[in-house]
Amino acid sequence: MFIIGGIQKTTLVDFPEKIAAIVFTQGCNFRCGYCHNPEILDFKQNVNYRTEEFMEFLKSRKGKLDGVVITGGEPTLQSGLYDFIKDIKSLNFAVKLDTNGTNPEILEKLIKENLLDYIAMDIKAPFEKYKEITGANCDLQNIKQSIKLIMNSNTDYEFRTTVLKSQLSFEDFEDIGKMINGAKKYYLQKFVPSKILNNNLLNEKTYSEDEFNEICKNLKKYIKNIYVR
C-alpha cells in the first residue's frame, strides 16, 4: 500500500539541478517538534491522491519535469514504496528520496537496484540526543547502517540537519561531524517558525550568520562541503 498525503506539482529547489514534482507520503515514526508537515504524520488511511492518478499526471508532464521527490512523513514506512518508485522510473523520471534513515533494509534494496538518483537523509542530532529531538524511541543501529549505506553507495546524496539553537550546541555539531565523517555534502537548515507540530517552538531561534559560519568552520575537519540554507 502506498498512501499519498499530498502532492506539489512543481518545485525548482527540492531536487538539485532538476525540475520536479513532490509526493508527500502519509505517516511518520518520528515526532520532531519542528516538523512542517504535521497534518500527515499519522496514518489516516484516507486516500486523497491515488497512485494511478499521479502516474497519469507524470505522463502528461514528460518533457516538462525531470524527476520526482518522495518525502513525508517517512516514505520508507510505505509497503508500496518499491513498486511506486519502479513505476516512476519506468516513465524515465529521476527519483529523489527523503528519509530519516530508520529503515536501512529498504534503502539497501533501492540502492542496489539503482532506483534512486538522489538521497537526502536527515541527521536529527548526535546519537545520544535522538530520542529527545525526535520524540520517539529509535534503533540507532539502523541510523548508523543507513549512513554507511548511503556514503558507500554510488548514488548522489546529502545529509541535512534542521537547526534550533536550543536543541543543538556547538559540541553537538562536533559529534554529528564525527557521525558522518567524510560525507559528500552536509546542509544546515535554518529553523523557520511557521506551521509546525509543536507550537511551543514558534518563538525559538536558530543561530546567527556568524555562529553558523563558526559551526561550518569547525565541521570542515570532517566534511568538505557544508552549506547553510
CA–CA distance from 64 to each of 7, 52, 129 (Å)?
Answer: 17, 19, 42
pLDDT number for residue 200: 87
Q: Domains of the chain, with CATH numbers?
A: 4-228 (3.20.20.70)
Mean pLDDT for the stretch of residues 104-121: 98
Q: Before 73, cis peptide (omega within 30)?
A: yes
Cα(31)–Cα(135) distance, integer angstroms:
5
Give the bridge partners for 49, in sequence order: 4
Q: How confident is the model at residue 45 (pLDDT cuts 50, 70, 90)?
A: low
% of residues, the chain, pLDDT over 70: 98
% of residues, the chain, pLDDT over 90: 88
pLDDT number for residue 193: 83
pLDDT number for residue 46: 61
Q: Which residue has the higher pLDDT, 195 or 125?
A: 125
In this prediction the pTM is 0.96
Cβ atoms 96, 69 nearer than 8 A: yes
> What integer best gives the mean pLDDT of the chain?
95
Largest CA distance in the chain: 49
